[in-house]
Amino acid sequence: MRRTRRRRGRRRKPLSRRWERKRQRYILQEAQTSVRYYLSYIPMIAVWIFRVAGICVFAFLIVWHLGQRVSMIGDSMNPILRNGDVVLVNRLVYNARRPRRGDIIVFKPKGNENSHYYIKRVIGLPGEKVEFRENEIYINGNRLEEKYQSTAVDRTGIVTEKMELGSDEYFVLGDDRENSEDSRDADVGNVKREHIFGKAWFVISPRDSFGFIKE
Q: How many residues does the chain have?
A: 215
pLDDT digits (tens, 9 = 90+) for 157-186: 999 999 999 999 999 999 999 999 999 999
Burial class (CB in 10 A: 0-12, 13-18, 19+), 151: middle
Q: Could you name the CATH architecture of 69-212?
A: Ribbon (2.10)
The confidence score (pLDDT) of residue 30 equals 72
User: How many alpha carbons fall within 13 Å on the CB side of residue 69?
Assistant: 7
Which of 71, 76, 115, 214 does the annotation list as catalytic? 76
In whole angstroms, how far apart are CA 103 and each of 63, 122, 124, 151?
21, 5, 11, 17
Closest to 110 (Cα-Cα) out of 199, 177, 179, 194: 194
Which H helix or E strand runs over 192?
A: strand 191-192
The confidence score (pLDDT) of residue 103 equals 97
Contacts of 200 (CB under 8 A, 6+ apart): 70, 81, 87, 88, 89, 90, 104, 105, 106, 119, 213
Average pLDDT over residues 83-102: 93
DSSP for residue 91: S
The confidence score (pLDDT) of residue 64 equals 54
What residue segments make up the domains of the chain, in order of their start?
16-66, 69-212
Which of 16, 40, 71, 120 does the annotation list as catalytic? 120
Sign, CA torsion 108/109/115/119: negative
pTM: 0.72
Where does the pLDDT of residue 62 fall: very low under 50, low under 70, confident under 90, or very high at 90 and above?
low
Residue 162 annotated among the catalytic residues of the structure:
no
Contacts of 101 (CB under 8 A, 6+ apart): 122, 123, 124, 125
Residue 76 annotated among the catalytic residues of the structure:
yes
CB 211 within 8 A of CB 202: yes
pLDDT digits (tens, 9 = 90+) for 115-164: 999 999 999 999 999 999 999 999 999 999 998 999 999 899 999 999 99
Average pLDDT over residues 31-42: 70
Q: What share of the chain is helix, strand, coil (3-state, %, to 5)?
A: 30, 25, 45
